[in-house]
Structure 1
Amino acid sequence: MFVTVALWIMMSLAHALGEQAFAAEVTAVRMGNHRDHTRFVVDLSENLSFSVSPTSQPDRVIVEIGAVAWRMPPVSGGGTGVVRRYRYNDVAAQIVLELVRPAVITKAFMLSPDKNHGWRLVIDVTEATLEAVAHDQHLHRESRMPTVAHLLNNDDSLSQQALQVSVSSAQLSSSQPPAMTSVSPLMSSQRVAVPMPPLPPVSLQKERRPMIVLDPGHGGADPGATGFSGIFEKHITLAMALELREKLLGTNRYRVMLTREDDTFIALRERVASARAHNADLFISIHADAIATPEICGLSVYTLSEEASDQEAAALAERENRADLIGGIDLSRESRDVANILIDLVQRETMNHSAQLASAFTRELRREIRLLPKTHRFAGFAVLKAPDVPAILLEMGYLSNPKEEQLLHQPAYRAKLSSAMVRAVDDYFKRRKISLL
């Protein structure tokens, strides 16, 4: 009898302790895609402290909400917007948002109950932009957000408000969150990591003219391609670069620098380093190709491929000179995760601008000369790998084609080409809404 009573008391005590330890319950998780952000909502039985942490490689957001009981089925499901999918770890009391791309936590707050809902944790995730990081980069150096419980204890009047930590001026919509999808369980053995903020924009100061670096391909001991009649690519590219420099300077809107001004060999990395050292706003590498099929002709424009940019970003993050400024950010002040994200975001922004420049060149040049099909192409050329300088590699044509070689050798043809290039550069800055002096 005594043993039975003792066991009953122990079981009751354990049950009571268990109920106390997991008094809070997660009853649902849902998500909706809005115009400029993805909203993630966690339905809770009571107010809880929480933290929201972004990490990189892979891009994720980790939401920690302490000891809770999970009252929802382990249903698999996908995400929406910037969230690829989300899942929960009932052992670590974590919800993990796997992201499509780096993103910023623009809002994270607890909503108090109303007649239709209990407590709700609301998290808004927005695709990372350079402007967002430049504006509030310091917020992301904090590893944890303040808890709602702490805020409520200091001001009862806040209990009816949406308490938020925001890195944007946008206000939380008061409308009902849209219909959302369900969650899939996260195995406790899985590791989590997440995205981070955006980077400072590489913006032009209005009091200075843009710096354009022209890179005549090859030179010195490296002749480049050999034309149908024996002419070397290095001579054609230098002649074109000199012509283009004069046209750009003639507008009085740009400053121009050449990576070489004579028949000199310059290493590829030195060309890129020179552009960055001069705070270049654009880098244009000039080339002319040659292949075994002489019938092929036409101009093409290259920008950095996605795969090559990923490899370059990883290599850059591991270099000992990581303290260099990348896009205006001093990486020596940042953790490895933040540095990786900043590099990725700066490079992503740079690649977008490079693509815009390539489009401008394609539009203007097609009016004057023959272009290759699929004119804008992608490759891992070393001279395109500056993480914070928009860059294109221009293949003016094929020296292996007799007619095209002859054209590239003519000053009048190069003058026509250079005029179209100047219009393309003007168009690029106009579309970026950068006023030129």
Structure 2
Amino acid sequence: MHICIPVTENLVDNLGGCYVLYSVYLEGFIFFKARYRDLHSWDEQIRGIFRNRIPTFPPKFYLAMTKNMAEERRILLKQYLRDVCSDPTVSSSEVFIAGVSKFQMETAGMPSRDVNLKVYLPDGRIIELQSKTSDTAERVLEVITFFLSFKVLTPHPECVLLLQTSLNKMNVSRELVEYFSLFITRRDTNGTFLVVKRVVPFEIPFVTVWNINNELYQIEIRKWYMTPSNDAMLMGCPAAVDLLYTQAVQEFGMNWSRPTEEQKTTLRKLIRTSHHVKILEYLQTIEHYGYQRMDPSVSDYLNANTMVSMFVGNNELCCTFKLPDNRTETMNLHISKIAGWDALLHQPDKDCDQQEFKLGFMKENVLTWVTIWTNQGFLLSTWLKKISSEQPVTPAKENLEIEDNGTSEKPRKIKIVDVTTK
């Protein structure tokens, strides 16, 4: 899980005491801001339940911190939060969720209140759910998938209250929750579509969109797996078939897949029949079905400012580089051939490409590193992690994130850290 603390603020409280406010970023976006003492109090609560499962919390300093001490604490806090948030047992607990929810709500300056939450389907339909501003992504997803199972797009408030007491006894939505997730997406007025980030289960989607503060961004439900053949697991669930179909048609319309002309003709005929299962089965024969397309980006491959287009899915990352002499070079990198990757956040307060993605792969038996400047670096890392998790034997070769204070102008060199699990 990508957690970093690229920004700190030295502030003074109402009593004149000095303190540091840490800005915690999750997957490249602001997650919450908190003081050391508040994080320490939260640590004591979760440690009281999970004991030695919780990593060591950064020590308290009783004298004024030097610059080096402050930097050491920032790094240790980042690692602590990364370890705690990455533990599924801890991060799904009530005490953990209560703590991070409190931090998120206080950072946004928002009380917990009723709100009509809009969640989009890939075809543009909207699910309006009477929710609370403090509801987590896991909670919202459970409610949405339950009502989708009954083809209800605008749940009545009383139905939602009833669901709160009975959801855990029902298996309909649980089947969908495992294969779908909430994402933040952007739909520009010119029709351009972009997947921005996945909303993790303990994150509050309403607050995440609120922090972005841009009406072009929205919450959307999309499938959460990278192996297209997994579609077969869901063919017996009408709600899942409907979600898969709407996303597949959307991606086909955006040219994310690569059908031949003959396949295009056949697919258009099938779409007119509205036989969703047959359409999804036929899509399995089309190249790049189920792949996620990244926005065109700039890289340093061979030369500076080399444009690159990327698709990720079905155990591989496909990169097409446009070279200065107008030639193109395409590389289909199987996950097993990727030596490592790393995502880095730059200048999070500026409205520009804030993320840097470093990719290491074997080319002609030589380890090659490429830096890609993109606004989807953390999302790309999330997709690659998901591919790795779907492998029978998981070669986890991701490098540790490199922290940046927002002032770097040049990409740093990094060493390979092979943490392959056996």
Same fold (TM over 0.5): no
TM-score range, shorter chain: under 0.3
Structure 1 length-normalised TM: 0.24
Larger radius of gyration: 1
Higher relative contact order (CA 8 A, sep 6+): 1
